[in-house]
A and B are shown apart, each in its own frame.
Chain A
Amino acid sequence: MSARSFKNDSSSVREARKFVARALAGAPQDLVEVAELMVSELATNCIRHAGSAYEVAVSRRGERIRVQVTDPGDGEPTVRNPTAEDPTGRGLRIVEALSADWGVERVAAGKAVWFTLETAAVAEAGASRATSSTDAGAGTSVRCAARAPRDLLAGVLGATRALRGLRPPEQRPERTLAGAPAT
């Protein structure tokens, strides 16, 4: 696992993205891009809501990637359900839509928001959809063509899998993790 602290400054969000990208070197590019986007959302929340420095930790175990962002704030992260007219409130919804799993944990240092991405589980879960995919999967397969077949499949399905998030917003109930309003 690699971990690093980042300061309470808007410039650190990009640094957090680059840190995650470096920690995931060798992973399929589409997966890295999704991880960068999600950590950007969580780091931005630390600055906007907690108003504090934060720590980003990245771990890889087999096919599972886990990224955790910890800040000392006591606010409750809330998945909101903005209408198309609401400018804000999409950070955690993006994490919810693109991650394999995510959650919030109370830790000694404050609260930790984490997400996971899985390459192999993705391949199994999405196998039936792979053949009909006409989305980004096609491009991904070209980029991954030199990899072993298993990696190739994982890469294609990694791109396909994010389509899971395509449910229309009105069908998605408001999800409050601990019942309290967002900070």
Chain B
Amino acid sequence: MAEFNAELTTNENGTAVVAVRGELDIQTVPQLEAVVAPALEANPTRLVLDVSELRFADSSGIALWVRWAAQVDELELLRPSPLLRRVLTAMGLEQKLRMTP
């Protein structure tokens, strides 16, 4: 089993923040989906994914994020790795999945 962990919290502004850790691929995407599902049922305007401790993500993870981006007004990726930033930019997703910083 790939090492993976996701933790959902809601900050003081009512924004759902998900801390995603480990490796996100075809095997672990369902775990992340399950953790975030309750937050999406509340129809949030904004979803924040803290990916600062996400060591790996491939197109399976990107596919999930793009689906989520269609359900909220804003999806934000906090502190992506240089490689993840490079990939998302190369795929033309830097507007759809806002990366900060």
Contact = CB atoms under 8 A, between A and B. Distances in A.
Interface of A: 10-11, 13-14, 17, 30, 33-34, 36-37, 40-41, 44, 47-48, 84-88, 90-91, 93-94, 97-98, 135-136, 139, 159, 162-163, 165-166, 168-170
B58 A41 contact: yes
A100 to B, nearest CB: 15
A98 B87 contact: yes
Interface in B8-30: 23, 25-27
Contact of A90 (B1, B62, B67, B70): B62
A139 B82 contact: yes
Nearest 3 interchain pairs by C-beta: A165-B90, A136-B82, A10-B27
B72 interface: no
Given A40-B25, A44-B26, A162-B90, 16 more contacts: A10-B26, A11-B1, A13-B26, A37-B56, A37-B83, A37-B87, A44-B25, A84-B66, A87-B64, A88-B59, A90-B91, A91-B58, A94-B91, A97-B90, A162-B86, A166-B89
B87 A94 contact: yes
- Secondary structure class of chain A's binding surface, majority of residues: helix
Given A34-B83, A90-B91, A13 B25 contact: yes
B94 to A, nearest CB: 9
A97 B26 CA distance: 20
Given A11-B2, A40-B25, A90 B59 contact: yes
Nearest to B91: A90
Interface in B41-100: 56, 58-60, 62-64, 66-67, 70, 82-83, 86-87, 89-93, 95-96
A126 to B, nearest CB: 14
A10 B63 CA distance: 16
A83 to B, nearest CB: 8
Nearest to B1: A11
A72 to B, nearest CB: 19
B59 A163 contact: no
Nearest to B29: A10
Nearest to A88: B63
Given A37-B58, A44-B59, A85 B66 contact: yes
B30 to A, nearest CB: 9
A170 B24 CA distance: 27
A136 B86 contact: yes
Nearest to B84: A37
